[in-house]
Amino acid sequence: MGTGKLIVLTGPSGVGKGTLLRSLLKQHPELYLSISVTTRAPRLGEVDGKDYYFVSRSTFERMVAKGELLEWAEFANNCYGTPRIPVETQIRQGKWVILEIELQGARQIRQTFPEALRIFILPPSLPELEYRIRNRGQDTEEAIVRRLRRAQEEIDAASEFDIQIVNDDFEKALGRIEATLFATATC
């Protein structure tokens, strides 16, 4: 992995991006996960600086104004963004950096890092996605409806990405991500 690379992982909320990513990082510790900054409150068990950097909206807005974020988006009434300096530093050092981000941020990355490998994770179906979101037990009914509406918009944009992977079987989806990443290592 001598040459640094930016890898973008996107997909609707509840599709299993986080679970796939955790397994990928466990099997490939040489990959560097960029930790996002967010204005949302921590979920049970989340740790500041490990899962996210949790900040106030005013701090987030200051970071945007100062150009400290590589990309940012507002989703479900919360802001999310990627701190610029750690990502650029890791890429310069030859690391492969993975961003787990929303569609809006992924579109920004396409403009700022056109050479990034962009992977979109799809659900097997919308009813299955709804089941997964409800089964998490983390969202209000209003938030679930909002996430599902947004999910359809995101799914419609999947063709904008280099690779689309359906997460209908966890091991197969993980294997396909690995094949995609490491097949490009020789290019």
Could you read off the pLDDT of 23-43 as tens digits, one per residue? 999 999 999 999 999 999 998
Pairing of strands 37-38, 53-54: parallel
Residue 71 has pLDDT above 90, yes or no: yes
- CA–CA separation, 28 and 92 (whole Å): 19
Q: What is the pLDDT of residues 74-115, one digit of tens each?
A: 877 899 999 999 999 999 999 999 999 989 999 999 988 899
Share of the chain above pLDDT 70, in %: 97
CATH number at residue 54: 3.40.50.300
Share of the chain above pLDDT 90, in %: 73
Residue 186 has pLDDT above 50, yes or no: no
Q: Structural domain tally of the chain?
A: 1
Residue 34 is classified by DSSP as P
- CA–CA separation, 129 and 177 (whole Å): 20
Q: pTM for the complete prediction?
A: 0.86
Contacts of 80 (CB under 8 A, 6+ apart): 36, 37, 38, 39, 40, 72, 73, 74, 101, 102, 105
Which domain covers residue 159, as residue numbers?
A: 5-186
Mean pLDDT of 3-15: 93
Residue 136 has pLDDT above 90, yes or no: no
Cα distances (angstroms) measured from residue 17 to each of 91, 99, 171, 187: 22, 11, 13, 25
